[in-house]
């Protein structure tokens, strides 16, 4: 006796189909595949592919990556010397093992040792894109913008929580903001909450990681210690990456 699926209603059979049901184009394609194959596994696989794309798009929209850096990824990060080659490989390794780093709270610091335009932000955004494609909620923020937004916030605890709780936080240009007791306390709060929760933070800094101590004064040692307890370091102190990219 031939085995038959007891119900032929795809809406009943597949939760993934129900999830894409309101997208007419994708629904019609799924319906067509079902009529041709009656293979629920294939329909689920088809729907899941688009659900993943939708999720990636949502995460990217929420990531706060601005227009200048939205298309920065590993494929268009150019290497010019041993410094950029090594830096890119460390960043790729970090991105490929993002779930292990999420589990162990492994931070990443990309330092410039006083050099500007070395590709630090490009690498950080490349990791962000990779993490988002793997389904990791990620937030990217330039520290100057973060402090500016914080000062205008009507709910400072909620603002801090939004950065402290995200699975992967990328703080760009840490140490470049004008310091004050308020700034030091805020940066410390965010870093400390993430430290206690053992969730990773990626930091780019124009200077050396060691300069955090002096920049944040009495909070500097605590900030540096919490980051350094479990971190990977990338040093990008070569020539100006932006100018090199024009050659």
**pLDDT tens track for 110-129:** 999 867 778 999 999 999 99
Nearest alpha-carbon partner for 108 in 59, 164, 170? 170
Residue 44 has pLDDT above 60, yes or no: yes
pLDDT of residue 123: 96
The Cα-based distances of 14 to 152, 183, 235 in angstroms read 46, 50, 49
Residue 217 has pLDDT above 90, yes or no: no
Residue 5 has pLDDT above 70, yes or no: no
Residue 1 has pLDDT above 60, yes or no: no
- Greater confidence, 5 or 174? 174
**pLDDT tens track for 70-84:** 899 999 999 989 999
Whole-angstrom Cα distance, residue 18 to residue 25? 14
pLDDT of residue 215: 87
Residue 222 has pLDDT above 90, yes or no: yes
Whole-angstrom Cα distance, residue 110 to residue 236? 7
Residue 2 has pLDDT above 50, yes or no: no
- Greater confidence, 247 or 69? 69
- Greater confidence, 23 or 142? 142
Nearest alpha-carbon partner for 213 in 222, 200, 203? 222
pLDDT tier at 10, thresholds 50, 70, 90? confident
Mean pLDDT of 195-216: 90
Long-range contacts of 53-58 (CB under 8 A, 24+ apart): 55/135, 56/132, 56/133, 56/135
Q: Give the three-class secondary structure for 78.
A: coil
Both tokens assigned to 156: 């400072």
pLDDT of residue 7: 59
């Amino acid at each position: 006796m031939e085995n038959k699926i007891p119900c032929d209603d795809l809406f009943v059979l597949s939760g993934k189909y129900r999830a894409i049901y309101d997208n007419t184009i994708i629904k019609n394609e799924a319906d067509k595949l079902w009529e041709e194959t009656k293979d629920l596994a294939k329909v689920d696989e088809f729907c899941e592919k688009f659900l993943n794309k939708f999720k990636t798009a949502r995460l990217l929209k929420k990531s706060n990556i601005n227009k200048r850096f939205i298309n920065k990824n590993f494929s268009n990060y150019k290497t010019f010397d041993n410094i950029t080659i090594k830096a890119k490989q460390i960043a790729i390794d970090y991105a490929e093992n993002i779930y292990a780093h999420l589990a162990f709270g492994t931070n990443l610091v990309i330092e410039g040792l006083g050099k500007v335009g070395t590709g630090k932000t490009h690498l950080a955004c490349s990791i962000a894109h990779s993490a988002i494609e793997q389904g990791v909620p990620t937030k990217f923020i330039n520290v100057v913008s973060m402090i500016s937004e914080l000062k205008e916030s009507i709910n400072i605890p909620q603002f801090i929580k939004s950065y402290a709780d995200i699975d992967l936080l990328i703080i760009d240009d840490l140490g470049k903001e004008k310091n004050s007791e308020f700034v030091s306390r805020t940066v410390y709060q965010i870093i400390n909450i993430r430290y206690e929760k053992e969730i990773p933070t990626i930091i780019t800094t124009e200077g050396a990681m060691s300069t955090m101590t002096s920049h944040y004064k009495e909070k500097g040692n605590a900030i540096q210690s919490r980051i350094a307890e479990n971190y990977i370091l990338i040093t990008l102190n070569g020539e100006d990456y932006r100018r090199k990219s024009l050659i």
